[in-house]
Amino acid sequence: MIDLAEIRPRHATPPSGFEALAAEIFALKKQLNALILAHNYQVPEIQDVADYVGDSLGLSRQAAGTNADVIVFCGVHFMAETAKILNPDKIVVLPDKDAGCSLEESCPADSLARMQATNPNFWTVAYINCSAAVKALSDVICTSGNAERIVRAAPAGRDLLFVPDENLGEWVMEQTGRPMTLWRGNCYAHVEFRRDAVLELKRRFPDAKVVVHPESLREVRDLADAVASTEKMVAYCKSSPARRFIVVTESGIIHRMQKECLDKEFLCAPAFDVTRMPADHCRCSECRYMKLNTLEKVRDCMKRLGPRIELPDDVLKRARLPIERMLEISAQPVENAE
């Protein structure tokens, strides 16, 4: 029997039927020799049955190092594709095949190829939030957790092309001072956060520290005490002596933050004008793609071994090198390593 007190934070009530579904999933996991990976934005009940919950970098590392036969990827499509590229001989399933990403959509591979053809000296750094076909055209992949480091490691004589997130790209340029040509894509959920809304929350809670995901606009990043990937956001909140945090990213992360910092308070930044919001009203930001996954769909994809990630052999081969390059650069020891 699952000990709910162990896997859920004190405050959280599990949804009805959680225990029976979780028991089914644990039995399937054993039977299939499966690894369940979940992104920090997944609903609490999915996080609670996962073997590992983390950001894109941590999830890629887990996928690269697993001995499981089946990877159940509770996240969005490009994340499951990355797991498949790293494990071409394993079965990789995701609970909902329509769990996409606005960044991935913004950068079709044929448009990228046309852009690359305009400058043979381009070195393409692709944020992991892109399709396998785009990865196959790229020189190196990065995540929000290692983008700065990956760009610093790029060959000095090359012109950098950063795709597809213009906001992460802009932030990395600010950090490194390295000019880059930016693809004009963005995360539809993060660009909804506005300076005024965060300022109003800061006015109401002056003791709160502000943690911001780098996919957000500069007007919001400029208000941050920390700009960080989802994993580094959790780490920052854990290690900070502050008791209260304004969290500017998708609201799924709050579950992990509360689970790992029982005595701290987390306020979701609202994705609209907070001055018109009643004080007790919650309007947290949600990624409509991440939220397509449910615990029932996790059970079903394990039962059916589908939807399954399948990719053409040439894409699998070509996309692997830039991902491995990222993992290698990221693993090199430095101060403040990811």
List of residues contacting ligand SF4 (CB under 6 A): 76, 101-103, 129, 187-190, 215, 250, 287, 289-290
Closest CB to ligand 13P among 56 and 106?
56
Number of residues near ligand 13P (by CB under 6 A): 12
Amino acid at 307: P
User: Residues 130 to 149: which contact ligand 13P by CB under 6 A?
Assistant: 143-145
Per-residue contact track with ligand 13P, 185 to 224, x per CB under 6 A? --x-------------------------x-x---------
Q: Over the chain, what HEC string results?
A: CCCHHHHCCCCCCCCCCHHHHHHHHHHHHHHHCEEEEEECCCCHHHHHHCCEEECHHHHHHHHHCCCCCEEEEECCHHHHHHHHHHCCCCEEECCCCCCCCHHHHCCCHHHHHHHHHCCCCEEEEEECCCCHHHHHCCCEEECCCCHHHHHHCCCCCCEEEEECEHHHHHHHHHHHCCCEEECCECCCCHHHCCHHHHHHHHHHCCCCEEEECCCCCHHHHCCCCEECCHHHHHHHHHHCCCCEEEEECCCCHHHHHHHHCCCCEEEECECCCHHHCCCCCCCECCCCCHHHCCHHHHHHHHHHCCCECCCCHHHHHHHHHHHHHHHHHHHCCCCCCC
Among 62, 66, 106, 129, binds ligand 13P (CB under 6 A): 129
Q: How far is the CB of 170 from ligand 13P (least distance, A)?
A: 16
User: Nearer Cβ to ligand 13P, position 229 or 251?
Assistant: 229
* Whole-angstrom distance, CA of residue 120 vs CA of residue 145: 28
Residue 326 partner contact from ligand SF4, ligand 13P, none using kind-dependent CB cut-offs of 5 to 8 Å: none
C-beta closer to ligand SF4: residue 70 or 101: 101
Taking CB within 5 to 8 Å according to partner kind, which of ligand 13P, ligand SF4, none is near residue 289?
ligand SF4
62 binds ligand 13P (CB under 6 A): no
> Is residue 150 part of the contact set for ligand 13P (CB under 6 A)?
no
Instruction: Considering the complex, state which of residue 81 and residue 215 has its C-beta at the smaller distance from ligand 13P.
Output: 215
> Of 87, 102, 229, 258, which lies in the binding site for ligand 13P, with binding defined by CB under 6 A?
229
230 binds ligand 13P (CB under 6 A): yes
Least distance to ligand 13P from the beta carbon of 230, Å? 3
Q: Rounded to the nearest whole angstrom, what is the least distance from the CB of residue 185 to ligand 13P in the complex?
A: 12
**What does the binding site for ligand 13P look like in residue numbers (CB under 6 A)?**
40, 55-56, 129, 143-145, 187, 213, 215, 229-230
